[in-house]
């Protein structure tokens, strides 16, 4: 079928909305009319050439309405409101253990450009276009495997829900699923973007005593306080490690590092108390540590977290319920853009004007 999609043709070029051809859904797939899609840092990195091969249709925080279902799809139906998340095979050892976020085919299925079955879903003038995260939701329609699809509550504005499929799932899940802090413990969250602020809201739900947010932008720190942070620190103004140790009488039990900046990663380790754990979420580079002094002698732990160790079909409905109860107000993070303004959405995300852009696609 003919659809409109924002095509990434080459590295560091603007996306171009063009007509493309989308294949019909297979037996394990569904066809979704996309209502809106979140803009994520991973999309921006892919435009820089760190994602699916070009040309590609990006977008991996889609939300929409099912229009067709394949013959093997029994848990989803035409008319269902759905959120699209990451792709996983459902058959490897990690998936069978309940670690779908660590699927052995993760890189292939989310960044390789093809469907689970090894075919291309999107074509343009006989040229194959890469699919992204098994969905390519910067488009009017998407074909996705049933594993990508999460049925959601029809009472909530569907246009708002796309970011739950990746960024907001990652931040909240890192706290709720990866770290699992006990109520009354302490956490430091480095970076006040949408991932970090989702971690703040999750920490507040659990009932942590100290929720400390570190960022360089006062507007983000102000919002962090509104969402549940007990303390905020501007990294330009204070010795972050010393301030955290003063607030917590020795360091935090847990930390979430979202920036990927090497100096901040080191701060997140140094500000832990004995036996503390930091979850690294941000994409970063080399970090130099003294293993004995920084890790071993105080029994500290560093873990890498992908998608907040979340199973989308379980985690996303839970976040929606918290939102309905007023406990997870992630709508305070977002700003909506029209489809034709998609490049503006990327630019304002890059400059920090907007924490979490959502591109509205359906008219």
In terms of phi and psi (left: phi > 0; alpha: psi -120 to 50; beta: otherwise), the region of 95 is alpha
pLDDT at 284 over 90: no
Q: What is the mean pLDDT of residues 1-21?
A: 97
- List the structure tokens of 340: 């034709």
In terms of phi and psi (left: phi > 0; alpha: psi -120 to 50; beta: otherwise), the region of 133 is left
Q: Supply the pLDDT for residue 282.
A: 86
Task: Give 197-211 pLDDT, tens digit per residue.
Answer: 999 999 999 999 999
Task: Give 218-259 pLDDT, tens digit per residue.
Answer: 999 999 999 999 999 999 999 999 999 999 999 999 999 999
What gap in Å lies between CA 59 and CA 359, rounded to an integer? 10
What pTM did the predictor assign? 0.95
What gap in Å lies between CA 113 and CA 93, rounded to an integer? 23
In terms of phi and psi (left: phi > 0; alpha: psi -120 to 50; beta: otherwise), the region of 274 is beta
Q: Token match 């990294």: residue?
A: 235
Q: Supply the pLDDT for residue 128.
A: 97
Instruction: Classify 28 as helix, strand or coil.
Output: coil
> Whole-number mean pLDDT of the chain?
96
List domains and CATH numbers for the chain: 2-165+329-360 (3.90.180.10), 170-306 (3.40.50.720)
From 201, 196, 307, select the one nearest 255 (Cα to Cα).
Answer: 196
Q: Supply the pLDDT for residue 184.
A: 96
Q: Supply the pLDDT for residue 205.
A: 98
Q: What is the mean pLDDT of residues 268-274?
A: 97
- Band of the pLDDT at 352, cuts 50, 70, 90? confident
Percentage of the chain lying above the pLDDT 70 cut: 100
Q: Supply the pLDDT for residue 319.
A: 98
- Band of the pLDDT at 283, cuts 50, 70, 90? confident
| Contact of 328 with 201, CB cutoff 8 Å | yes
pLDDT at 363 over 80: no
Task: Give 96-134 pLDDT, tens digit per residue.
Answer: 999 999 999 999 999 999 999 899 999 999 899 999 999
Note the helical H segments in 157-310: 167-173, 194-206, 218-227, 240-248, 262-270
Task: Give 63-73 pLDDT, tens digit per residue.
Answer: 999 999 999 99
Task: Give 160-189 pLDDT, tens digit per residue.
Answer: 999 999 999 999 999 999 999 999 999 999
């Amino acid at each position: 079928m003919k659809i409109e999609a924002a095509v990434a043709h080459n590295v560091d070029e603007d996306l171009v909305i063009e007509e493309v051809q989308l294949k019909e859904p297979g037996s394990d797939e569904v066809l979704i009319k996309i209502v809106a899609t979140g803009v994520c840092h991973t999309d921006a990195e892919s435009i820089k050439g760190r994602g699916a091969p070009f040309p590609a249709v990006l977008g991996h925080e889609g939300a929409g309405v099912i229009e067709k279902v394949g013959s093997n799809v029994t848990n989803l139906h035409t008319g269902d409101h759905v959120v699209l998340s990451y792709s996983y095979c459902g058959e490897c050892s990690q998936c069978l253990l309940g670690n779908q976020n660590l699927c052995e085919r993760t890189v292939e299925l989310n960044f390789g450009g093809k469907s689970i079955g090894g075919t291309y879903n999107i074509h343009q003038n006989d040229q194959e276009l890469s699919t992204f995260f098994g969905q390519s939701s910067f488009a009017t329609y998407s074909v996705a495997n049933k594993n990508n699809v999460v049925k959601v509550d029809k009472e909530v504005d569907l246009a708002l829900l796309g970011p739950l499929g990746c960024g907001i799932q990652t931040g909240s899940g890192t706290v709720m699923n990866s770290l699992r802090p006990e109520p009354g413990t302490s956490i430091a969250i480095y970076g006040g973007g949408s991932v970090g602020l989702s971690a703040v809201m999750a920490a507040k739900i659990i009932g942590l005593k100290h929720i400390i947010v570190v960022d360089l932008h006062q507007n983000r720190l102000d919002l962090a306080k509104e969402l549940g942070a007990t303390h905020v620190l501007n990294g330009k103004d204070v010795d972050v490690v010393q301030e955290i140790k003063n607030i917590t009488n020795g360091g935090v039990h847990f930390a979430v590092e979202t920036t990927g900046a090497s100096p901040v990663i080191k701060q997140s380790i140094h500000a832990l108390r004995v036996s503390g754990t930091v979850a690294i979420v941000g994409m970063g580079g080399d970090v130099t540590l003294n293993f004995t002094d920084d890790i071993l002698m105080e029994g500290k732990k560093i873990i890498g977290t992908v998608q907040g160790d979340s199973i989308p079909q379980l985690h996303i409905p839970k976040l929606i319920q918290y939102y309905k109860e007023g406990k997870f107000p992630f709508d305070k993070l977002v700003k909506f853009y029209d489809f034709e303004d998609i490049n503006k959405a990327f630019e304002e995300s890059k400059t920090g004007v907007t924490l979490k852009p959502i591109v509205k696609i359906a008219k």
